[in-house]
Amino acid sequence: METPNNALRPAKPRPWDWLHILSLDAPIAACAWQWALAHHHHLHLPPAAYWGLALAAWGIYILDRTLDGYSTAAVDQTARHDFYRNCRAGIFFGILPAITTVSAYLALWQIPEGLLWHVVAIAIMVTVYLASFAASQTKVARDLLFSITGLGAIILLSQLPISGDVRLIASLGILAVMFFVMARQFSKKTGNRVPKEIAAGVLFAMGCTAAIRFYAQEENILPPLLETALMSGLFICNLASISEAEHCHLAGAQPPAIPTAKWLSLTAILATLTWLQASRLPAGHHLQTLALVILAGSALLAFLRTLRQRLHPDSFRSLADLAVVLPLAIYWL
């Protein structure tokens, strides 16, 4: 039987490691990005937007990491996996219900209805993500999450201003798509599945920009699409770099599914092109500033990547998360 690699298990978590172990790094980063974007768009978001995003990010990461503990091989276990495995009962029967209750209150009584449906649409995609990756080895959780996804999509559809016949056909289409995805996702041939880092990075970017999109009400769709694409690229690079660093300390481990160097290069190229061409686009000044933020974050991650062999995985993760938050200071320069 393989034993966990000691490189991933410090004898005692250091104080800053608890941000990661308790999954507080995700809500902090998400709120920092939302705050910076709101500042640059000259928006004053209500407190509920920040609390809702923080609780949603925290709850998703807690559930993701708890479910991940069921399927992760022993060689991949870390202090984080140990924590969530030992605290499963408290998480499932205490923390997650509390987060869900407060989030439901904020969603139903504190944020506008239009933003609520933005959030519901993202939540549907998040449940697909959780069912596809974190719960892929836990059949009950996987089936439950896919059922919630289908139900949520149909509820969202029922609120759209379309005729009953179209709604019925679309509902049947949703059920057909869900069946196809489940059959394809969980067949033995899973090699073509979208890597987890890509799915998580895109969803994180969509969550950070949901309130911005709703309150800004841009008429041109290109700037928000570019904004989400640039942010997705940076977050994907962050997750891929962390995965690569962890695998460096696992004897005989397979290389990460994401080619980190290529993603860093692609993200930097997209940011550079955006910066050069932004003057020709609506909201050009905002896109230029965002491009600089993305370039700075990519450069920091590329530098950290050269140190992945020397740094402990937990230290690398903390620094990689800091690398996507520190460049936000450019918005205030």
Per-residue pLDDT of the chain in tens (333 residues, 90 and over written 9): 334 455 555 557 777 778 888 899 999 999 999 999 999 999 999 999 999 999 999 999 998 888 776 654 544 556 777 788 888 889 989 999 999 999 989 988 999 877 887 787 788 778 777 777 665 555 545 555 555 555 555 555 555 565 555 555 665 565 555 555 555 555 544 444 567 888 889 889 989 998 998 898 877 778 888 898 999 999 999 999 998 888 887 654 556 667 899 999 999 999 999 998 877 776 678 889 999 999 999 999 999 999 988 888 888 898 999 999 999 999 988
Pick from 118, 114, 132: nearest CA to 196: 132
C-alpha span between 243 and 254 (Å, rounded): 11
Residues 90 and 177 in one domain: yes
- State the total domains in the chain: 2
Query: Is pTM, for the whole model, over 0.85?
Result: no
Question: Which DSSP category does 8 fall into?
Answer: G
Structure tokens at 188: 């033995």
Do 124 and 229 fall into the same domain?
no
- According to DSSP, residue 130 is labeled I
DSSP assigned state of 328:
G
Listed residue (208, 269, 271, 262) closest to 240, CA to CA: 262
- Choosing from 217, 238, 259, the residue where a domain stops is 217
- Decide: residue 112, CB within 10 A, 0-12 exposed, 13-18 middle, 19+ buried: middle
Last residue of a domain, one of 161, 182, 217: 217
What is the phi-psi region of residue 283: left when phi exceeds 0, alpha when psi lies from -120 to 50, beta otherwise? left
User: Which tokens in the block code for residue 219?
Assistant: 């008429």
Shared domain for 210 and 275, answered yes or no, is no
Give the separation between CA 98 and CA 111, rounded to whole angstroms: 19
Among 189, 217, 245, identify where a domain stops. Answer: 217
SS3 content of the chain, % helix, strand, coil (to 5): 75, 0, 25
Range of the domain at 96: 1-217
